[in-house]
Chains A and B, each alone.
Chain A
Amino acid sequence: MTSPPPTISTHPALFLHGLTLEGGWRVTGRATTVKGQPAGGHQSVGYFVERADGHPGFLKAIDLSGIIQARNVMRALQEVTEQFNFEVSLLEHCSDMRLSRVVHAIDHGEHRIPGALIPVPYIVFDRADGDVRDHLEATTVDDGWLLRCIHHVVVGLHQLHTARFAHNDVKPANVLVFEALGSKIGDLGTAVDASGTSPHGGKAFAGSWDCAPPEVPCLAEQADAWQHGRRCDLYMLGGLITFLFTHQHFNTFLKRELPEELLPLFWGGDFTGPFEEALPYLLAAFDRAAREVEVALRPRLHPSVAGEVTRSIRELCHPDPARRGHPRNLSGLNPLGLERYISLYDRLVMKAGLARKRGSRP
């Protein structure tokens, strides 16, 4: 079955380039590919936009055209509406609370194109200079830059957690880089709140499964969505740190050390749990994987820094959700606290800088 090619009247969200939207935003170019479900669900697409006063923005447009093909259209519509409204209100909340390391939304609305059947809901953000994946060329970034980036991400995550939200999708694509301001966390589309009432609060893990901790593909039951969300954030943070330095996610290292028999479905195997059965093997694989990560970090970082980075990865990526986090927090009231990592990475930025200076002395 081939569906007719999308046109501006059937899929207006895909044809915003060159238009000026109701909010005064001029769309200057396409920023991202289209992602999401083309049929039976919704898609999103990013554009570069400019306000009348020249302020640059990034516009995320929602394409609702596929939704009428959903098996249950009303439910699908309700879902996308809830998600959109939640993201908007969460972004507003973040702006109100002045979360400096979470990307700011500056506008949102619905644009109607004359003759098109459906409106285009959109959100406009401060424009970043790409995400961190566009900044990883080894000869252009140094470890100081990467450590600073991590520091910013940890601060952003901490800000979110303090505002009682878990991000649920910490990954390279969602770390936005602002040349002047450093890095910020973007994409609150899959966040969950502490009360569990957010659109993604109850369902299966909404973020990217390939970056998720092993309990997600192992389909471990989760009693407490808020705690689970933060544990996922910690793991994904560790995975991100690993990726920034080694160009491989921690999961790639972990999978390599795990026996075939224990690979969950999503990781290309057919192990279906229970998670507890896999855990001892995950622990064993984890130790080996962490070693490999350390080996990979060594040539990249000053030895004194490499050791501490590895340790933090070990703590954040611990496969046992109950033992994830800073060891000094684990027995306390706030086992998933991130403050210690904020100061750690702040210190490591300096340490790396000093080590570089010392190293370059003739």
Chain B
Amino acid sequence: MSLPARPRNRRVLPRWRDTRAAVETGEMRSLQRASADEKARAQQAGVQRLVTLQREFGAKPSVGRAAELTGAAALMNRPDVAEDAAVYLLLNAEQTTPAALASARTLLALPAPGEAALQAPQGTGLLTVQAEVRRLRPLLREFPHNPLMHLDLARAYAALGQAQRAERHLQVALALAPQHRFALRTAVRFHVHTHDPRAAVTLLRRSDRTPHDPWLIAAEISASMVAGVAPRFVRRARDLVENWDLDPLHISELAAALGTLELKDGGKSKRVRKMFRQALEQPTENAVAQVQWVAPQVQVPLDEQQLKSVPRNFEMRAWERYSLSRFEAARDAFECWLQDEPYAATPVIMAAYLAGALDPTPTRAIELTRLGLTAHPADEVMLNNMAYYLAIGDQLDDAETYLRRAQAATAPGNVWNGANLVATQGLLLFRRGQPDAGVHLYEAAAALAKRSALPQRAVIAQLNLARELIRCGDERAPAVLLRALEEARALTSPDVDLAVAHLRAQMQRLGVPPEVLPPTLFR
């Protein structure tokens, strides 16, 4: 199996999340800030109203008055003023309604607002996405004018590889909410997903809102970079970033996009760094991931304390944990990222890759890859990996089919995947009971990888070869294993660490006593 190469050209493209998750990130926040005056006025009106309701309830208690006060207090987040009224409702439970009683109970428990914790990742798979479609379709028949529901359904269709349906619902959403930031940004992500970044650029340039909204300008810059055209609002963007005096969150992605643009155009590193530093003032997770991505070229320190409060910071966390070889934790983060973007290729490949290496059976890896292939049916890495997982699960004929599709999808010059394909072929031969041919292909794969300056891939091929030899009790096993571990030691790479960990676990499952294995396997 193989990893995706980490994206060579990461751009600060808008995320396309579930609309319920998207509000968490601040993307929906308004650019205007309430003036102190407005706040005071709203508060004063509220206080006066609550005082009146309190007095009216006190003067002549009844469930109607108690319920009115309880409701208004809940609305204005002032549970303290309605405690008596809530108690009154509970004492007169038979005179009121379950809805009012539930409110009264909530109110008396004084819940802290905004306590919504991050949900543990639920499995994302084809079935979950299909279930989402089944959930949304009847709802939309009932509420055809809900743009958010159209966006969510479009997203589910995109994850299922049904780009046309996705686009149709996207169009409806845009017709219902043409100037809506999130709808526009979603459309941008969609067009890039379907390899039509120019459509994204056109859409943004046509919207009156774009020049005034840093979130949209950020998307315009990034989509233009993907499309290979010159971004239109760069001067305006610099201006905004320079003179921004509102919530810095709003320009986080814009600054990150500008920094990326300047970096690509060979801008002065001081300026580039300044941009990224600004992106981090109050960052979105997308900006954080971008800073992490540029780190080899531009060093901008990430503040761990600050990162803790960045919502949905999955991509950055996933790669961070992976690079530290914390694989179980990395897997959780990739799964979270996948839940955020079920149509995206990288998280699904990585989540499956980790599942394949860590789980005793390839079931989850196959399930995830099936999801990935639904959205990206010609992705050569996924096709190859699918063949690999199926072979590991001894579904050899299916594996063969995928392998052939992978071969057809791989461009001739793609050595990265080329070497992997040869190795997978070797695996398949092993499982078909032809170890000699298997050895031959694995060694060819390792040699090809080495020639192409991919030493990790070469070592991984050898480690997998060792595993197959041990599995079938072949006497060549010890020598191959020792050599592979020797070479592995010389490399510091999480990919190799993971392969070693996988091998270790595999040996344990096969019941190979640790004493017969080389101690280097356990370091």
Q: A residues engaging B (CB < 8 A)?
A: 32-35, 37, 132-139, 172-173, 208-210, 217, 219, 243, 245-249, 251-253, 255, 259-262, 264-268, 270-274, 276-277, 279-281, 283-284, 287, 292, 296, 299-300, 320, 323
Residue of B nearest to A273 (CB): B30
27 contacts between A and B (CB under 8 A): A32-B56, A33-B59, A133-B62, A133-B64, A134-B65, A138-B63, A138-B94, A138-B96, A209-B45, A210-B72, A210-B75, A247-B99, A248-B97, A249-B68, A251-B75, A261-B29, A265-B34, A268-B76, A270-B33, A270-B39, A272-B34, A277-B180, A277-B181, A280-B146, A283-B146, A287-B146, A296-B99
Which of B39, B76, B139 gathers most chain A CB within 10 Å?
B76
The answer to whether B64 touches A272 (Cβ under 8 A) is: no
Q: Known contacts A266-B45, A284-B19; is A274 also within 8 Å of B32 by CB? A: yes
The answer to whether A261 touches B75 (Cβ under 8 A) is: no
The answer to whether B75 touches A281 (Cβ under 8 A) is: no
The answer to whether B32 touches A248 (Cβ under 8 A) is: no
Bound complex: CA A79 to CA B34 (Å):
27
A276 in complex: contacting residue of B49, B65, B113, B179, CB < 8 Å? B179
Is B98 close to A, CB under 8 A?
yes
Q: Which of B16-32 contact A (CB under 8 A)?
A: 19-20, 23-24, 26, 28-30, 32
The answer to whether A137 touches B62 (Cβ under 8 A) is: yes
Residue of A nearest to B46 (CB): A266
The answer to whether B60 touches A134 (Cβ under 8 A) is: yes
Bound complex: CA A217 to CA B211 (Å):
27
Smallest beta-carbon distance A40→chain B, Å: 11
B residues near A300, Cβ cutoff 8 Å = 97
Is B194 close to A, CB under 8 A?
no
A262 in complex: contacting residue of B28, B60, B75, B97, CB < 8 Å? B28
Bound complex: CA A243 to CA B67 (Å):
9
Smallest beta-carbon distance B177→chain A, Å: 5
A residues near B42, Cβ cutoff 8 Å = 209, 217, 264-266
Smallest beta-carbon distance B175→chain A, Å: 12
Is B95 close to A, CB under 8 A?
yes
B68 in complex: contacting residue of A243, A260, A267, CB < 8 Å? A243
Q: Known contacts A247-B97, A259-B23; is A133 also within 8 Å of B45 by CB? A: no
B residues near A259, Cβ cutoff 8 Å = 20, 23-24, 28
Q: Known contacts A219-B38, A272-B30; is A247 also within 8 Å of B55 by CB? A: no
Bound complex: CA A322 to CA B417 (Å):
56
Bound complex: CA A248 to CA B100 (Å):
6
Bound complex: CA A91 to CA B441 (Å):
96
Bound complex: CA A280 to CA B149 (Å):
9
B residues near A245, Cβ cutoff 8 Å = 97
Bound complex: CA A272 to CA B30 (Å):
7
The answer to whether B26 touches A272 (Cβ under 8 A) is: no
Bound complex: CA A252 to CA B102 (Å):
12
Q: Known contacts A265-B39, A265-B42; is A134 also within 8 Å of B62 by CB? A: yes
Smallest beta-carbon distance B28→chain A, Å: 5
The answer to whether B147 touches A172 (Cβ under 8 A) is: no
Smallest beta-carbon distance A296→chain B, Å: 4
The answer to whether B63 touches A270 (Cβ under 8 A) is: no
B75 in complex: contacting residue of A133, A255, A271, A292, CB < 8 Å? A255
Is B71 close to A, CB under 8 A?
yes
Residue of A nearest to B101 (CB): A247
The answer to whether A134 touches B113 (Cβ under 8 A) is: no
Known: A132-B64, A246-B99, A247-B97. 17 other contacts (CB 8 A): A32-B56, A37-B48, A137-B62, A138-B94, A138-B97, A210-B75, A243-B68, A246-B97, A249-B71, A251-B75, A252-B103, A261-B28, A265-B34, A276-B179, A277-B30, A281-B19, A284-B149
Residue of A nearest to B115 (CB): A260
Is B77 close to A, CB under 8 A?
yes
A residues near B32, Cβ cutoff 8 Å = 272-274
Residue of A nearest to B45 (CB): A209
Residue of B nearest to A320 (CB): B145
Is B366 close to A, CB under 8 A?
no
Q: Known contacts A252-B103, A281-B23, A283-B145; is A210 also within 8 Å of B183 by CB? A: no
Smallest beta-carbon distance A219→chain B, Å: 7
Q: Known contacts A255-B74, A280-B177, A283-B145; is A137 also within 8 Å of B26 by CB? A: no
The answer to whether A260 touches B114 (Cβ under 8 A) is: yes
Q: Mostly helix, strand, loop or mixed at chain A's interface?
A: helix
Is B365 close to A, CB under 8 A?
no
The answer to whether A247 touches B96 (Cβ under 8 A) is: yes
B residues near A265, Cβ cutoff 8 Å = 34, 38-39, 42-43
A residues near B55, Cβ cutoff 8 Å = 33-35
The answer to whether B29 touches A280 (Cβ under 8 A) is: no
The answer to whether A248 touches B103 (Cβ under 8 A) is: yes
Is B148 close to A, CB under 8 A?
yes
Smallest beta-carbon distance B22→chain A, Å: 9
The answer to whether A323 touches B145 (Cβ under 8 A) is: yes
Smallest beta-carbon distance B212→chain A, Å: 11
Bound complex: CA A287 to CA B139 (Å):
9
Which of A243, A261, A264, A323 gathers most chain B CB within 10 Å?
A261
Is B52 close to A, CB under 8 A?
yes
Bound complex: CA A268 to CA B46 (Å):
10
The answer to whether A280 touches B60 (Cβ under 8 A) is: no
The answer to whether A283 touches B95 (Cβ under 8 A) is: no
A residues near B147, Cβ cutoff 8 Å = 280, 283
B residues near A274, Cβ cutoff 8 Å = 30, 32
A residues near B52, Cβ cutoff 8 Å = 33, 35
The answer to whether A210 touches B30 (Cβ under 8 A) is: no
A residues near B176, Cβ cutoff 8 Å = 280
Is B143 close to A, CB under 8 A?
yes
Bound complex: CA A264 to CA B77 (Å):
11
A residues near B94, Cβ cutoff 8 Å = 138-139
Bound complex: CA A271 to CA B67 (Å):
26
Residue of A nearest to B71 (CB): A252
Q: Known contacts A261-B28, A272-B32, A274-B30; is A280 also within 8 Å of B23 by CB? A: no
Smallest beta-carbon distance B168→chain A, Å: 18
The answer to whether A33 touches B26 (Cβ under 8 A) is: no
Smallest beta-carbon distance A261→chain B, Å: 5
The answer to whether B148 touches A284 (Cβ under 8 A) is: yes
The answer to whether B63 touches A137 (Cβ under 8 A) is: yes
B148 in complex: contacting residue of A138, A255, A283, CB < 8 Å? A283
Bound complex: CA A343 to CA B202 (Å):
51
Q: Known contacts A247-B64, A268-B113, A287-B146; is A279 also within 8 Å of B95 by CB? A: no
The answer to whether A247 touches B67 (Cβ under 8 A) is: yes
Bound complex: CA A245 to CA B95 (Å):
12
Bound complex: CA A292 to CA B98 (Å):
11
A residues near B46, Cβ cutoff 8 Å = 209-210, 266
B residues near A261, Cβ cutoff 8 Å = 23-24, 26, 28-29
Bound complex: CA A359 to CA B68 (Å):
32
Q: Which of B77-121 contact A (CB under 8 A)?
A: 77-78, 89, 92, 94-100, 103, 113-114, 116
Smallest beta-carbon distance A16→chain B, Å: 17
Residue of B nearest to A279 (CB): B177
Residue of A nearest to B148 (CB): A284
The answer to whether A247 touches B63 (Cβ under 8 A) is: yes
The answer to whether A209 touches B23 (Cβ under 8 A) is: no
A residues near B97, Cβ cutoff 8 Å = 138, 245-248, 296, 300
Bound complex: CA A136 to CA B70 (Å):
15
Q: Known contacts A173-B56, A261-B26; is A270 also within 8 Å of B34 by CB? A: yes
B residues near A264, Cβ cutoff 8 Å = 42
Q: Which of B372-418 contact A (CB under 8 A)?
A: none
B residues near A217, Cβ cutoff 8 Å = 42
Bound complex: CA A252 to CA B180 (Å):
26
Bound complex: CA A301 to CA B306 (Å):
52
The answer to whether A272 touches B148 (Cβ under 8 A) is: no
A residues near B148, Cβ cutoff 8 Å = 280-281, 283-284
